[in-house]
A and B are shown apart, each in its own frame.
Chain A
């Protein structure tokens, strides 16, 4: 340990230096290539205009509240429904065959069709039926669409997690006299959920970004707001502002996911058997 540390420290210092130099060279090269292009001033004005950026950032941020509300609602529903679908797919025995089929069909359909199409079909289709008593608010159908699509994704994540728990765990639980459902609830699912938190957060990042799709059924959320401002001012900088807002939301989640993956790798290596 001491010997390797003694050797590693000067090497570490040198590699830091190399990293700094190569990054500097890289940044300068990119700046020269991009900034040196003949149309750069025009692009800068259309996409990176500081005045437009600061003027519309608060406007878009206010509209972004709708996106936040949407993904918070959907995330809660998806967490519960996804687990339910995964459990149904894992029900044993011939009695549950029809239920299992429904679950398989559900995941196949909603994983296989683009989210935007689902949003269109439900967002325009169901209010279009004008059924008495069926609400037609676009927010509702936007939430339903995203819930269906992401429940399908997340149920597969849960299912992979449940199947990754070694059968000996369920056997140990059953040997105590626990029923199949109790073994699932107290032993298998708690371990599975812990194991799938990183891929789950990954799907949540996808969901948060997909909230812009609901603008297509008439919801004036952040993307539509940026879009309106872009068309009114012939300037694309509002999109840049929205991108920055998204990064502020998704970057911490991305980092958290990476951290959890690294932590779990350590823990499961220690406790693995």
Chain B
């Protein structure tokens, strides 16, 4: 068994009167790929944003490699260095070239010298088929290319954990595959990942474990073969039936 990278214990999170996370427990080991599935509003994105400390939690705790990162004394900037997150809406910096997008973190946070950061970024971009986009600005790229750049930008920080928040939901259908292939390559390389997704076929392929979230709780979790073929909970079955009916699986 590989060591635990993330441990989430009894995490609660409310936005005003709306309780979005109602007691989440989850542990993810090194090299493991965990997919979060569930309806919109079930808490997938919020959970990922909490792990990256973009949202403060109300109760419970989150440990990264055994260290509680939800203590008030923790330096959140240091925590975030080791956790890459990719957003649904890409969120590239539109005023910077692809290269500057990718090197911003290494240069300003890790204080990597410019030449070295640019060399590393160029290599990473080449690895994901983006070598010729190095000097372009984001608005000149397709959605799929932008999202791949966003993944490379997160990878440039050498994170031990990647959080992917519905990264194909804003893409045209024909651009989904190129992004998912990048994620497959990361999984093959042993990257630890927590992936919120609506792509059930992809989740079934790539996940070691699938968690079904419903109304702020993990209602059911297990290997994809079990969750997708014989879910124990009626609510999971209902969700999957609807997804199949919508032709998304």
Distance in Å: Cβ of A271 to nearest Cβ of chain B? 4
Distance in Å: Cβ of B96 to nearest Cβ of chain A? 8
Distance in Å: Cβ of A251 to nearest Cβ of chain B? 30
Complex contacts, A5 vs chain B, CB 8 Å: none
Q: Which of B39-82 contact A (CB under 8 A)?
A: 52, 54, 77-78, 80-81
Q: Which residue of A lies closest to B150 (CB)?
A: A172
Pairwise interchain contact B54-A179, C-beta atoms closer than 8 A: no
Distance in Å: Cβ of A180 to nearest Cβ of chain B? 9
Complex contacts, B105 vs chain A, CB 8 Å: 176-178
Q: Cα distance A186–B91 when bound, in Å?
A: 14
Distance in Å: Cβ of B1 to nearest Cβ of chain A? 29
Q: Which residue of B lies closest to A194 (CB)?
A: B95
B138 interface hit (Cβ, 8 Å): yes
Pairwise interchain contact A178-B89, C-beta atoms closer than 8 A: no
Interface string of A174-191 (1 = CB under 8 A from B): 111111001000110011
Distance in Å: Cβ of B189 to nearest Cβ of chain A? 21
Pairwise interchain contact A175-B95, C-beta atoms closer than 8 A: no
Complex contacts, A169 vs chain B, CB 8 Å: 91, 93
Complex contacts, A270 vs chain B, CB 8 Å: 139
**CB-contact partner of A187 in B80, B93, B154, B157, under 8 A:** B93
Pairwise interchain contact B80-A177, C-beta atoms closer than 8 A: yes
A273 interface hit (Cβ, 8 Å): yes
Q: Cα distance A176–B139 when bound, in Å?
A: 21
Q: Which residue of A lies closest to B157 (CB)?
A: A176
Q: Which of A181-220 contact B (CB under 8 A)?
A: 182, 186-187, 190-191, 194
Pairwise interchain contact A273-B89, C-beta atoms closer than 8 A: yes
Pairwise interchain contact B95-A190, C-beta atoms closer than 8 A: yes
Distance in Å: Cβ of A179 to nearest Cβ of chain B? 5
Q: Cα distance A176–B85 when bound, in Å?
A: 8
Complex contacts, A171 vs chain B, CB 8 Å: 54, 87, 91
Complex contacts, B12 vs chain A, CB 8 Å: none
**CB-contact partner of A177 in B78, B90, B95, under 8 A:** B78
Pairwise interchain contact A271-B80, C-beta atoms closer than 8 A: no
A168 interface hit (Cβ, 8 Å): yes
**CB-contact partner of A175 in B78, B85, B94, B108, under 8 A:** B85
Distance in Å: Cβ of A259 to nearest Cβ of chain B? 19
Q: Cα distance A179–B90 when bound, in Å?
A: 20
B109 interface hit (Cβ, 8 Å): yes
Pairwise interchain contact B139-A271, C-beta atoms closer than 8 A: yes
B31 interface hit (Cβ, 8 Å): no
**CB-contact partner of A168 in B87, B95, B104, under 8 A:** B87
Q: Cα distance A270–B139 when bound, in Å?
A: 7
Distance in Å: Cβ of B30 to nearest Cβ of chain A? 21
Pairwise interchain contact B95-A174, C-beta atoms closer than 8 A: no
B148 interface hit (Cβ, 8 Å): no
Pairwise interchain contact A178-B91, C-beta atoms closer than 8 A: no
Q: Cα distance A172–B147 when bound, in Å?
A: 13
Complex contacts, B108 vs chain A, CB 8 Å: 178, 182, 186
Pairwise interchain contact A178-B78, C-beta atoms closer than 8 A: no
Pairwise interchain contact A178-B104, C-beta atoms closer than 8 A: yes
Pairwise interchain contact A168-B109, C-beta atoms closer than 8 A: no
B198 interface hit (Cβ, 8 Å): no
Q: Which residue of A lies closest to B170 (CB)?
A: A273
Q: Which of B17-41 contact A (CB under 8 A)?
A: none
Pairwise interchain contact B87-A172, C-beta atoms closer than 8 A: yes
B217 interface hit (Cβ, 8 Å): no
Distance in Å: Cβ of A270 to nearest Cβ of chain B? 5
Pairwise interchain contact B85-A186, C-beta atoms closer than 8 A: no
Q: Cα distance A171–B88 when bound, in Å?
A: 13
**CB-contact partner of B91 in A172, A177, A267, A271, under 8 A:** A172
Pairwise interchain contact B87-A174, C-beta atoms closer than 8 A: no
B133 interface hit (Cβ, 8 Å): no
Distance in Å: Cβ of B146 to nearest Cβ of chain A? 9
Q: Cα distance A92–B127 when bound, in Å?
A: 40
CB within 8 Å for A176 and B52 given contacts A171-B91, A186-B104, A191-B94: no
B13 interface hit (Cβ, 8 Å): no
Query: Which among B83, B94, B105, B110 has the highest number of chain A CB atoms within 10 Å?
Result: B94
Query: Which among B54, B83, B92, B153 has the highest number of chain A CB atoms within 10 Å?
Result: B54
Pairwise interchain contact B87-A271, C-beta atoms closer than 8 A: no
Q: Given contacts A270-B139, A271-B138, A273-B89, could you give 13 more A-B pairs where the C-beta distance is less than 8 Å?
A: A171-B54, A172-B92, A176-B153, A177-B109, A178-B77, A178-B105, A178-B109, A182-B108, A186-B108, A187-B93, A187-B104, A190-B95, A271-B139
